[in-house]
Chains A and B, each alone.
Chain A
Amino acid sequence: EVQLVESGGGLVQPGRSLRLSCAASGFTFENYAMHWVRQAPGRGLEWVSGISSNSNSRAYVDSVKARFTISRDNAKNSLYLQMNSLRPEDTALYYCAKGPYFHNSGYLDSWGQGTLVTVSS
């Protein structure tokens, strides 16, 4: 059974940094692309970033480009999101999600339960 467990969220002041982690199990992590998707309180889903299985391809939504960096450690079955220069509008529940292929296109076939990031002074 696929399991994705996010961690690292919390309350942070605007302009500060936070690093999210996602621990994966139940599948061969190194074979699949991974993504981060966020959901602001009471709002819909927004794709944030995706990374291919070998880290060669990374993509971001425009609103986080140059501030967020996605990475992965296949030896540790882990996905990360380094978030810098955080803004109040980054406040959301951040989900880790698995893609169906090695490349980072496609749908999202498994999701974690999310970690909450709150950006406020």
Chain B
Amino acid sequence: EIVMTQSPATLSVSPGERATLSCRASQSISTNLAWYQQKPGQAPRLLIYGASTRATGIPARFSGSGSGTEFTLAISSLQSEDSAVYYCQQYNNWPPFTFGQGTKVEIK
């Protein structure tokens, strides 16, 4: 089973600043990685797939990068509505698909 490790656990960023979230896989997953956003009381929402492709309707301030074992989700110019928990998920080696433990983004 591939283990996904996200860092940091919590990120506190001022509005308008850039947030950078990391996700590491325990072995290479090529670019078979997705990012999801989950706001309190809501279902997760797909942000990024294929490590860097934005899902339909996702604002351009969200960007993904990386391949192999190291991945990054960047949120440029953070807005108040971006406060959420962000999860990465690998779909290269399955079953099972595996998620990271999440990074909580807080607005300062």
Q: B-contacting residues of A (Cβ < 8 Å)?
A: 35, 37, 44-47, 50, 59-62, 95, 100, 105-114
Contacts and interface: CB of A to CB of B under 8 A. Distances in A.
Contacts of A113: 42-43
Nearest to B101: A44
Given A44-B102, A111-B43, 4 more contacts: A44-B99, A109-B46, A109-B55, A113-B43
B87 interface: yes
Contact of A107 (B43, B89, B98, B100): B89
8 contacts: A45-B36, A45-B99, A47-B89, A47-B96, A59-B94, A107-B46, A111-B44, A113-B42
Given A108-B89, A109-B55, A47 B46 contact: no
Interface residues of B, number: 22
A106 B31 CA distance: 11
B22 to A, nearest CB: 16
**List of 7 A-B pairs having minimum Cβ-Cβ separation, nearest first:** A107-B34, A59-B95, A111-B43, A47-B97, A61-B96, A45-B99, A107-B49
Contact of B46 (A46, A61, A95, A108): A108
B6 to A, nearest CB: 9
A57 to B, nearest CB: 10
B93 to A, nearest CB: 10
Interface string B77-108: 00000000001010100111111111000000
A47 B43 contact: no
B43 A112 contact: yes
Nearest to A110: B46
B100 to A, nearest CB: 8
A45 B103 CA distance: 12
B13 to A, nearest CB: 21
B18 interface: no
Contact of B87 (A44, A61, A110): A44
Nearest to A112: B43
B45 interface: yes
A108 B89 CA distance: 9
Contacts of A62: 96
